[in-house]
Chains A and B, each alone.
Chain A
Amino acid sequence: DGGITQSPKYLFRKEGQNVTLSCEQNLNHDAMYWYRQDPGQGLRLIYYSQIVNDFQKGDIAEGYSVSREKKESFPLTVTSAQKNPTAFYLCASTRDPTSSKTYGYTFGSGTRLTVV
């Protein structure tokens, strides 16, 4: 079955450490997104990519980095510059985001990151 796979499900980070969250999709979707979810704050966009080898900052990109070397993959690195990284991270994808058909997003199951 097609879908989005996020790994790991739980991740623990020590102070000053970089960690990478994986997001892989086999839906042949063009665009991919990373969101951060904190209680009571909804979903906040970190980075997004509409095509391979191109990505844009979202609303809260500071302390994060991404790459999009393959259509299927959009890993997120949480760097030591992100001072409060404890949160639930969600990856999403969609077919041609410029289409008037507006397909909506498919979400992964999330990664819960905790600073220890």
Chain B
Amino acid sequence: AQSVAQPEDQVNVAEGNPLTVKCTYSVSGNPYLFWYVQYPNRGLQFLLKYITGDNLVKGSYGFEAEFNKSQTSFHLKKPSALVSDSALYFCAVRDRGAGSYQLTFGKGTKLSVIP
């Protein structure tokens, strides 16, 4: 079975500081990994994905994520946070080796960027 955990319900960071939103996953094979962002009363928007290749993935709005196979993690990062980055962030995984055709989402992490 595939699963994903976002250990922090909320992350607070000062504007201009670097931010990290954590994600760990569990799969039987190799993972496909995604990050999505959700603004209030809106659907989820795609930020970035890891399929294969470079462990550092760059995405929309200056976000990036690092795939770490040994730690089964895929943390989302940004060098300098903006107030407009305040939103709910979801990590998702699909197990490539298990014949799974669905994404499993984490419970989400609320990011608050303080001016």
- A97 with B43: CB separation less than 8 A: no
Size of the A side of the interface (Cβ < 8 Å), in residues, is 28
Query: Contacts of B49 on A, CB cut-off 8 Å?
Result: 102, 104
Contact A107 B44 (CB under 8 A): yes
- Would B106 and A42 count as touching, CB distance under 8 A? yes
Cα A104 to Cα B101 in complex, Å, equals 10
- Report which B residues bind A (CB closer than 8 A): 9, 32, 34, 36, 41-46, 49, 51, 90, 94, 96, 101-103, 105-108
29 pairs, A vs B, C-beta closer than 8 Å = A6-B43, A31-B101, A33-B102, A35-B105, A40-B9, A40-B107, A43-B44, A43-B90, A43-B105, A45-B102, A50-B101, A88-B41, A90-B43, A92-B44, A98-B101, A102-B32, A102-B49, A102-B94, A102-B96, A104-B103, A105-B44, A105-B103, A106-B46, A107-B43, A107-B44, A108-B43, A109-B41, A109-B42, A110-B42
